[in-house]
Structure 1
Amino acid sequence: MTTFYDFHATLENGEQYSLEKYKGQVVLVVNTATKCGFTPQFDGLEKLYEDYQQRGFVVLGFPSNQFKQEVATGSEAAAACRRDYGVTFPMHELTDVNGDNAEPVFKFMTSSAKGILGSESIKWNFTKFLVDRNGEVVERFASKDKPESLKKSIEKLL
Structure 2
Amino acid sequence: MKKKDMSYRQSILKSIYPMIMWSTHSNGKKQSLENKNGATPSMSFYDLTMTAIDGTLFNFSNVKGKKILIVNTASDCGYTGQYEALEKLQQQYKEQLVVIGFPANDFKGQEKSDNQNIAAFCKKNYGVSFPLMEKSIVIKKNQQNLVHKWLSDPSQNGWCNQEPVWNFCKYLINEQGVLVNYFPMTIDPLDPLVIAAIEKK
Of residues 43, 57, 64, the one that matches 1:16 is: 57
- Could you list the per-position Cα deviations for residues 61-109 of structure 1 after superposition, in whole angstroms to 9, with x for gaps in the alignment? 0100111101321221121011111111011110110112101110111
Ranges of 4+ aligned residues in structure 1 off by more than 4 Å: none
- Secondary structure of 1:106's aligned partner: helix
Higher-Rg structure is 2
Residue 85 (structure 1) aligns with: 126
- Secondary structure of 1:140's aligned partner: strand
* Residues in 2 aligned to 1:86 and 1:25: alpha-carbon distance in whole angstroms: 22
> How many residue pairs end up in the alignment?
152
- What is the TM-score normalised by the length of structure 1? 0.91
- Could you list the per-position Cα deviations for residues 17-69 of structure 1 after superposition, in whole angstroms to 9, with x for gaps in the alignment? 22111111110000000100000011110010000002x21100010011110
Q: State whether residues 90 and 99 of structure 2, in contact with CA within 8 Å, keep that contact through their aligned partners in structure 1.
A: yes
Mapping 1:1-158, distance limit 5 Å: 1-54=42-95, 56-67=96-107, 68-98=109-139, 99-111=141-153, 112=157, 114=160, 120-149=162-191, 150-157=194-201
RMSD: 1.3
Q: Structure 1: any 5+ residue segments left out of the alignment?
A: none
* Residues in 2 aligned to 1:5 and 1:74: alpha-carbon distance in whole angstroms: 24
Q: State whether residues 26 and 131 of structure 1, in contact with CA within 8 Å, keep that contact through their aligned partners in structure 2.
A: yes
* Residues in 1 aligned to 2:174 and 2:142: alpha-carbon distance in whole angstroms: 27
Q: Structure 2: any 5+ residue segments left out of the alignment?
A: 1-41
* Residues in 1 aligned to 2:119 and 2:185: alpha-carbon distance in whole angstroms: 19
Q: State whether residues 66 and 97 of structure 1, in contact with CA within 8 Å, keep that contact through their aligned partners in structure 2.
A: yes
Identity %: 36
